[in-house]
Amino acid sequence: MKRREFLGGTIAAGATMVGLRSGMGPALAQGRSNVIRVLLEDGPNTFDPAGTGYNTAAVSITWNVYDRLVSFASAPIEGEPGAFTYDYGTIVGQAAESYTVSPDGRSITFKLRPGATFHDGSPVTAADVKWSLDRCMTVPTAKAQLGTGSLRDPAQFVVIDDMTIRVDTEKADRFTLPNLAIVFPAIFNSKLAKQHATDSDPWAQEWLKTNTAGGGPFKLASYQAGQQFVLERFADWKNGPIESQARILCQVVPIASSRRAAAQRGEADIVRGLAGRDIESLLAGGKTRVLGIPNPNGITFIAMNTQLAPFDNVKVRQAMAYATPYQQMFESVLYKRGRALFGGSASTDSTAWPTPLPYVTDLAKAKALLAEAGLGDGFETTFSIDAGDAALSEPMGILMQEALGKVGVKASINKVPAGQMGTLQAEKKLAMFIGVGNAWLRNPDYFFRVFYNGASRWNYGNFKNAEMEKLVAETRFESDPAVYAAKVQRMIEIAKADVPMITLWSPFQDTALSKAMSGYTYMFHNALELRHLTKA
Amino acid sequence: MRSDALAFIVRRNVITTVAAVLIVLLVVIAIVGPALVPYDPLATSATEVLMPPSARHWFGTDGLGRDIFSRVIVAARLDIAIAVSAVALSAVVGVSIGAVSGYVGGALDRVLSRVVDVMMAFPLFVAAMALVAVFGNSVKSIVLATAIINLPFYFRLIRAEIMARRSIGYVEAAVITGNSATNVIFRFLVPNSLPPVIVQVSLNLGWAILNASGLAFIGLGVAPPTPEWGIMIQEGAALMLSGEWWVVVFPGLALVLSVFCFSLLGDGIRDVIDPRRRS
Amino acid sequence: MRHKGLRILLARIATTIPILFGVVVVTFALIRSLPGDPAVYYASGPGAGPAEIEAVRRQLGLDRSLVEQFWRYLVELGSGRFGNSLQTGQPVLADFAQRLPATLELAILAFAMGVGTAIPLGILAAVKRDGWIDQLCRVLSSTAAAMPGFFFGLILIYFFYFLAGVAPEPIGRLPGWALPPPVVTGFMTIDCLLAGDVELFWAALGKMILPAASMAIFAIAPLLRMMRGGMIDALDSDYVTASRAFGLSRTRVLLGYALPNALLPVLATMGMVLSTMIGANIMIEKLFAWPGIGAYAINALIGLDYAPVQAFVLIVAVLFVLMTLAIDLISSAVDPRYGQG
């Protein structure tokens, strides 16, 4: 008697589930044409575009809720109809209707767009721009970045009149304008923000972390931390067209396979943060469109600490570069979703960077180089991988460990929690690790300045090379293209010969799109650029 | 007489006997398994990625082309070793501290009991996670974390036993005849209080395996590429949604089977030691 | 009499304060001994040199001495503030207010499933002691005890989502396109009903079935065993034998006399099960992308986000202490002998 009741209960529960599945249809589907559903790996951690410790998801909000003075133009991607990528070479006005660069290149004057307003309807003025740029000079993250474009002092931002602002730099700097087009120098509604400033917090950093005060193409309609947020178009936006009427529903789904499954069933419009196998099975499924956008500025690499024995010996580093199982990693881990950066030419005749390094898997050569370095019997080392990126880095680490074993190098894998990885990198405590570098600004000298030079965390190889330091300094303001090209080529030669980082590939920025989507635009920050999106 | 009793127990407890046999088998696998497996559990193969179970690979292969059967077998040693050493550590330390605390009483007992109360109030799994994160991803820290969060149970168990027995005749006799406190605790009291501890240990072994696999599932397991059931499940979790079930299912079944055996054995031991409490 | 009860209650509450203080101290110390520096982690940007890291550290208040940090934390706690999460940018309390209902809702359903399965089976096993049903229950409870929830969840996902396609996608609390109803209670099912959206209510309930079943599995063994044990003791007791002798019907004896007495030890186990479901369902929340407090806490722990971890441990500890207290009180109300031995 009891048992029958129990079984009855189970069957009822099962039936309910079936019912749900079929009953989910019409009412919920009604919303589909005017909602674009985006699945993200993680949620935003701040609404402050210049904020401390912002993550990529935060940029998906700040990029769309705020305007900047200028922005990068977009250009169609060849072979991918309806998809666009940013054009680093063309900077167009956004909040600024136009800008003029003075003949000596030391000041740029911006004319604001008449009639443009913030979301609350108040007009966008030069005072707002000045307040926002001044603010960047006090937030550490923004300040450090804008410094790379010679922007260091509030005095450099001069209000001419209500609708005109001038930015002065000490020297003509080709990085000033791009730096004004990136995420940080967003324009705040300063009157609104100032209402929430306090004596201890004059720039309203606390308030702007959890509130928005922008005038961008989208408004933040709702937000549930770590779960989802909804963006709604700002109908009065004056700075360009917003292609779609749809609301953007962004949901956080931490597990890649769940995101993939949703894409496969056509239950999401845009799915981010997919890699390798997931992409391959989506491609095989054929129901979804996968955009593999090459990101020339991203590099996946194996870094070696050039100040730490035995990697202080260039022969050992080269031996590692010959021992690396490139092709196997590229095929069975990355599923070829990227541009290979190995097996390139030994000679350097262009400034194109990143370029394939001249290494291929050649165990005999690796052994010979190790013998030359006096390490014919191999050595023991630790190979660190980021636990936060384990889906890719763990199989890579295992393949690397196996390959190193073949040349007598005994590597133990150290899986480091994401939070600790940064600390260990900054303190230069890792011997050898897998990392991913991504430069926002595309010039090759910028890349070498950030990744092959200096004391910052991003100098992953802890590379200290007098010639590189000199070249990095000399190219900073070099305006003669021929001289610049020669020096960049020399930097590339050093990167090839000294290999502080074994470059593996530039991964594609893979995004799965439902067939209804078009107008997808890839931006340098890899977060969402929404205003060109349309849904059929 | 003794063997008669054993035969009676075996007859009465078929399931327990089966569990005991399976555990012996498991231990044998843990000891000799690594020498018998058909493939190197660490060897990857670019050409045999994610092969379903077949005559060649009984349990199929994983995302790197490694033989899952070999990995499941080899992992038995590590998983059992983690459970046994963690439980042994917490039992020995917990029993020692708890016995002393219960016997001495007074301020020491009050302080120690409060410390244990604090440990009990902690969300256990979060404590284990934090400990592994602090000590680093290694077998040692997983054992240590598992042992620490288990400690309070042994402490409380033995303390209650000791307090109940402190004033029993033979103990008082031992004190009067001039035995040192250490002697009284560890030669008279503890041995007599051991049965419930033994039951607890046998029940705990399975739990320790589960705990370690849970940590691995969260990403706080032993370092790759070491085969371990929890990590193998975690590695395969993503594949479950695309239909490659074998990567998860076989290590999962190995895990369930061994925990199952330990828990049945624990029940059986409890029946034998304390038949009234059989459950 | 009532005054005495109140005094005992207050005294019991007073004993929990040092325990909670201990939890606060240990959590504070433990999380700060995590290797890794939040300042470095949160100082991103290409120019993140030592100067920027230092600035971030100052902003986070991590440049102060540990004693000072602890004092400031206590003062904040005293005024009911738990700090801000670095990962969500929100006040920790706001995050919890949003996520705790999600965890509770799931835990309650899982609890109901566990109790609904285990209690009848436990009674049945006791009544048919040593019969095949009893043996079957024993195998069932041992299997359930041996089954890690996340493994069970994966199996369920494989069968019901991948193969059969009857379960909704194992992501979150609502189907993909659905916009959540206005938040009133935070319990999705209740909010759906309050908003008058019955269809969405069923959808939200459907989303909960697989994760709740994965959680319920762990509750089966302890509940079933306690229920069976308690029932056997009750059935063997003199008063049951006596009532039988008086010729009362079997069902009446079972449900009217034996069951209430057998439920007392089960009650304590239920409390344990429920508090474990609330505090330790991290793996299930992670597997089903359930936006509860467990997943929140682990992300914070891994991301060196101190405030949420501290708050999580404290909140779960408070829940645990309250639960223990409640069980004690209920037990002594039901059975006056309780707690005197």
Check CB contact under 8 Å for A258 and B241: yes
Q: Are strands A380-386 and A432-438 parallel, antiparallel or unpaired?
A: parallel
Q: Tell me which chains share at least 3 CB pairs under 8 Å with chain A.
A: B, C
- For B10-60, how does the pLDDT look when each residue is reduced to its tens digit (9 = 90+)? 666 677 778 788 888 888 988 888 888 888 888 888 778 888 998 888 898
pLDDT of the residue at A20: 34
Question: Domain-by-domain residue ranges, chain A?
Answer: 3-273+514-535, 298-508
**B vs C: CB pairs below 8 A:** 137
Question: Which residue in C40, C89, C165 is closest to A423 by CB distance?
Answer: C40
Check CB contact under 8 Å for B49 and A255: no
Contact residues, chain B, for A332 at CB < 8 Å: 44, 46, 49, 63-65
Check CB contact under 8 Å for C150 and B260: no
- For A473-524, how does the pLDDT look when each residue is reduced to its tens digit (9 = 90+)? 999 998 899 999 999 999 999 999 999 999 999 998 889 998 888 889 999 8
Q: Tell me the ipTM for this assembly.
A: 0.84
Is C20 an 8 Å CB contact of chain B? yes
How many Cβ atoms are within 10 Å of A1's Cβ, its own excluded? 7
**A252-256, B48-52, C328-332: range with lowest mean pLDDT:** C328-332
Is C95 an 8 Å CB contact of chain A? yes
**A147-156, B131-140, C2-11: range with lowest mean pLDDT:** C2-11
Is there a cis peptide before residue A354, judged by omega within 30 degrees of 0?
yes
Burial A261-285 (b: 16+ CB within 10 A, else e): bbbbeebbbbbbbbbbbbbebbbeb
Q: How far is CA A240 from CA A532, A536, C118, C177, in A?
A: 10, 21, 63, 28
The dihedral over CA atoms of B141, B146, B147, B150, expressed in degrees to the nearest 10, equals: 160
Please name each of the domains of chain C with its CATH number: 92-334 (1.10.3720.10)
Chain C 82-101, residues with CB within 8 Å of chain B CB atoms: none
Cβ distance B64 to B46 under 8 Å? no
pLDDT at C341 over 50: no
Is B194 an 8 Å CB contact of chain A? no
pLDDT of the residue at C11: 80
Reported as a pLDDT band with limits 50, 70 and 90, residue B2 is low
Reported as a pLDDT band with limits 50, 70 and 90, residue B252 is very high
Alpha-carbon gap, residue A390 to A83, rounded angstroms: 30
Share of chain A above pLDDT 70, in %: 94
Helix axes C92-127 and C293-302, enclosed angle (nearest 10): 120
Reported as a pLDDT band with limits 50, 70 and 90, residue C16 is confident
Cβ distance C307 to C92 under 8 Å? yes
Residue partners of B38: CB distance under 8 A and separation at least 6? B67, B69, B70
Q: Select, from the ranges A237-246, B164-173, C130-139, C187-196, the one with the highest average predicted confidence (pLDDT).
A: C187-196
Q: What is the mean pLDDT of residues A182-200?
A: 94
Distance from CA of A333 to the nearest CA of B (A): 8
Q: What is the DSSP string of B97-137?
A: HHHHHHHH-HHHHHHHHHHHHHHHHS-HHHHHHHHHHHH-S
Helix, strand, coil share (%) of chain A residues, nearest 5: 35, 25, 40
Question: Domain-by-domain residue ranges, chain B?
Answer: 3-45+57-250+271-278
Check CB contact under 8 Å for A412 and B237: no
Q: What is the mean pLDDT of residues A404-426?
A: 87
- For B58-81, how does the pLDDT look when each residue is reduced to its tens digit (9 = 90+)? 898 988 889 999 999 999 999 999
Is C225 an 8 Å CB contact of chain B? yes
Distance from CA of A278 to the nearest CA of B (A): 9
Distance from CA of A531 to the nearest CA of C (A): 20
**A104-108, A244-248, B188-192, C91-95: range with lowest mean pLDDT:** B188-192
3-state SS assignment for residue A98: strand
Cβ distance A13 to A176 under 8 Å? no
The dihedral over CA atoms of A33, C193, C100, C119, expressed in degrees to the nearest 10, equals: -120
Check CB contact under 8 Å for C44 and A387: no
Question: Which residue in A29, A258, A387 is closest to C169 by CB distance?
Answer: A258
Q: What is the mean pLDDT of residues C124-148?
A: 86
- For A342-383, how does the pLDDT look when each residue is reduced to its tens digit (9 = 90+)? 999 989 989 988 899 999 999 999 999 999 999 989 999 999
Contact residues, chain C, for B114 at CB < 8 Å: 18-19, 22
- For A10-64, how does the pLDDT look when each residue is reduced to its tens digit (9 = 90+)? 333 333 333 333 333 333 433 467 889 999 988 888 899 987 778 888 999 999 9
Alpha-carbon gap, residue A63 to C50, rounded angstroms: 27
Taking chain C, what is the end-to-end CA distance rounded to the nearest angstrom? 21
Is A15 an 8 Å CB contact of chain C? no
Is A202 an 8 Å CB contact of chain C? no
Question: Which residue in A255, A257, A387 is closest to B242 by CB distance?
Answer: A257
Contact residues, chain C, for A31 at CB < 8 Å: 177-179
- For A450-472, how does the pLDDT look when each residue is reduced to its tens digit (9 = 90+)? 899 988 888 999 999 999 999 99
Chain A 148-167, residues with CB within 8 Å of chain C CB atoms: 148
Q: Where are the alpha helices (DSSP H) in C33-148?
A: 38-42, 50-60, 66-78, 92-127, 132-146
Q: What is the mean pLDDT of residues C306-312?
A: 90
Check CB contact under 8 Å for C160 and A17: yes
pLDDT of the residue at C57: 84
For chain B, the average pLDDT equals 83
Distance from CA of A256 to the nearest CA of B (A): 7
Burial A425-451 (b: 16+ CB within 10 A, else e): bbebebbbbbbebbbbbebbbbbbbbb
Top pLDDT among B279 and A213 is at A213
Report whether CATH 2.40.70.10 matches the domain A298-508: no
Alpha-carbon gap, residue A243 to A249, rounded angstroms: 16
pLDDT at B242 over 90: no
Residue partners of C85: CB distance under 8 A and separation at least 6? A45, A225, C91, C92, C95, C300, C305, C307, C308
3-state SS assignment for residue A211: coil
Burial A52-74 (b: 16+ CB within 10 A, else e): bbbbbbbbbbbbbbbbbbbbbeb
Distance from CA of C220 to the nearest CA of A (A): 14
Question: Which residue in B44, B46, B133 is closest to A331 by CB distance?
Answer: B46
For chain A, the average pLDDT equals 87
pLDDT at A137 over 90: yes
Is C135 an 8 Å CB contact of chain B? yes
Give the mutation candidate from B39, B42, B44 for the A interface (greatest A CB count, under 10 A): B44
Check CB contact under 8 Å for C139 and B15: yes
Distance from CA of A211 to the nearest CA of C (A): 10
Alpha-carbon gap, residue A272 to A268, rounded angstroms: 10
Is C228 an 8 Å CB contact of chain B? yes
CATH topology of domain A3-273+514-535: D-Maltodextrin-Binding Protein; domain 2 (3.40.190)
Written as six digits, the tokens of B225 are 């590429």
CATH topology of domain B3-45+57-250+271-278: MetI-like fold (1.10.3720)
pLDDT at B207 over 50: yes
Alpha-carbon gap, residue A402 to A397, rounded angstroms: 9
pLDDT at C213 over 90: yes
Residue partners of C95: CB distance under 8 A and separation at least 6? A225, A226, C85, C88, C296, C308
pTM of the model: 0.82
Chain C 17-36, residues with CB within 8 Å of chain A CB atoms: 34-36
Written as six digits, the tokens of B82 are 């983690």
Cβ distance B26 to B43 under 8 Å? no
Contact residues, chain A, for C259 at CB < 8 Å: none
Reported as a pLDDT band with limits 50, 70 and 90, residue C340 is very low
Q: Tell which residue, A404, A410, A422, A395, has the closest CA to residue A321.
A: A404
Q: Tell me which chains share at least 3 CB pairs under 8 Å with chain C.
A: A, B
Report the largest interatomic distance among the alpha carbons of chain A, rounded to a whole angstrom: 94
pLDDT at A113 over 70: yes
Check CB contact under 8 Å for B219 and A281: no
Residue C166: closest C-alpha in chain A: A18
pLDDT of the residue at A1: 32
Cβ distance C19 to C321 under 8 Å? yes
3-state SS assignment for residue A352: coil
